[in-house]
A = this chain, B = another copy of it.
Amino acid sequence: MSARQYAALPDPFVMHRGGVLRGARIAYETWGALAPAKDNAILIFTGLSPPAHAAGSPADPSPGWWEAMIGPGLAIDTDRWFVIVVNSLGSCFGSTGPASIDPATGERYRLNFPELSIEDIARSGFEVLQSLGIRQADTILGPSLGGMVVLAFAAAHPGATRRLVSISGTAGATPFAIALRSLQREAILRDPGWQDGNYAPDAPPRTGLRLARKLGTITYRSADEWAQRFGRDRMAGARPPNSFSPEFEIESYLEAQAGKFVERFDANCYLYLSRAMDRFDLAPLTQGCVERALVIGVESDILFPIEGQRAIQATLERAGATTALIAMPSIEGHDAFLVDIPRFSAAIGDFLRTG
C-alpha cells in the first residue's frame, strides 16, 4: 500500500547551478484536509535520508519517521492542518534524482544528473504547493537538511509561507560538518563497487554506504547518550580471537543501523544530497519574506551546533521575521527531533497553535 502522490515539476526544470531536468516529479504524502481557503497547509522537508512517509495514513498505515509528531491531536495536528511531506528532489523515494531514468537516454541519470543545490529542493517543494493551488503555506518546516531547505525557500519565495520552522539546520555548514560528509562520500567513491557511479541497482557499493551510514550515525547522536545507553557493555556470544569482529554493544548498534540503510538508499543520490549540504550558503532574505519563525537547535548537536542556530535567528530577525530560538537540552544530539518527542512536540505544537 502506498500513500504516495506525485507533482510534476515545470518542464524543463532549470537547476540552480545550471542544467535542466525534463519530466521531473516530486513524490509527497499528505495528512488532514486542505481548507476551502487553502490557508492551512504545512509543508515539511525531510532530512537527508527519509522518504515522504512521515506518518501512517489510511492509504499506508505503516509507521512513518515522525509518527509521534504528525496526526490527530499531535503536535502537528492533522485535525487542523493539511500536512504535506515531500521527498527531496535528488532523493530516491519517488522524486526525480540520480537513480531515476533520464528520459533523454532511457538510462538512469547517475552522474549525468545536474548538480543539485538546496535551492532546487526548496523550489521543488514550492512547485508542489503550486500544483495544489496553495498560494501561501501557513508554515514550512524541516529538520537537518530540511532545516536548510526551509531557509532557501524563504530566500527564493518570499511570501510563499507565512511561518517557518528550521530544526537543527544551518545557513552554511561548518568545516567540521563538511569534513565528516566529505569522508562519507569518499567511503562511497573509493568503494570499487561504486564503479564511477555505474553500479547495478542490485549491486550497490555496500561497503561505502555502510561506512558512510555508520559515520552518520556516530555524528547524529551524542557521546553522553551512548555512555548512558551502551557504556562499555559487551555483545553476547564469543568473539573469535584476533578477528577484529564487533565486540561491544555500540558496534552492534552501528551495524544494525548501517545494515538497514545499505539496502534502502541509493549511493549516487547520497553523494548529490551530501554535497548539496556542503555547498549551501543562504542567499540574502527579502524584508518580510516570512512573518514568524521558530529556530530549534540541540545543545548536544556536534554537526549543526547551537551557534549556527543563533546565526539563523539573527538572519531571520534582520529580515523582519518575529523569531524565537529554542536551544534544546536534549542528550540525543542532532537526531533529537526523532527521539526527544516530548520536547519537540511541546515546542512545535506551541508555535503552530499561537500567532
Contacts and interface: CB of A to CB of B under 8 A. Distances in A.
Contacts of A227: 174-176
Interface string A229-268: 1111000000001101011111100100000000000000
Contacts of A312: none
The complex is assembled from copies of this chain, and their number is 2
Interface stretch (A130-138, A139-147, A161-169, A183-191): A183-191
Nearest to A227: B174
Interface in A208-230: 210-211, 214-215, 218, 222-223, 226-227, 229-230
A178 B218 CA distance: 10
Interface string A179-201: 11011011101101000000000
A275 B243 CA distance: 11
A248 B175 contact: yes
B244 A175 contact: no
The list of the 10 closest CB pairs from A to B, nearest first, reads A176-B223, A175-B250, A175-B226, A175-B230, A190-B207, A182-B251, A179-B218, A179-B250, A183-B214, A111-B242
A172 interface: yes
A229 B250 CA distance: 33
A291 interface: no
Interface string A43-64: 0000000000000000000000
Nearest to A217: B179
Interface of A: 111, 113, 115, 172-180, 182-183, 185-187, 189-190, 192, 207, 210-211, 214-215, 218, 222-223, 226-227, 229-232, 241-242, 244, 246-251, 254, 271, 275, 278-279, 281, 302, 305
A279 to B, nearest CB: 8
A202 B241 CA distance: 27
A324 B278 CA distance: 43
Contacts of A241: 115
A174 B250 CA distance: 10
Contacts of A113: 242
Nearest to A214: B183
Contacts of A305: 223
A333 B187 CA distance: 24
B211 A179 contact: no
Nearest to A207: B190
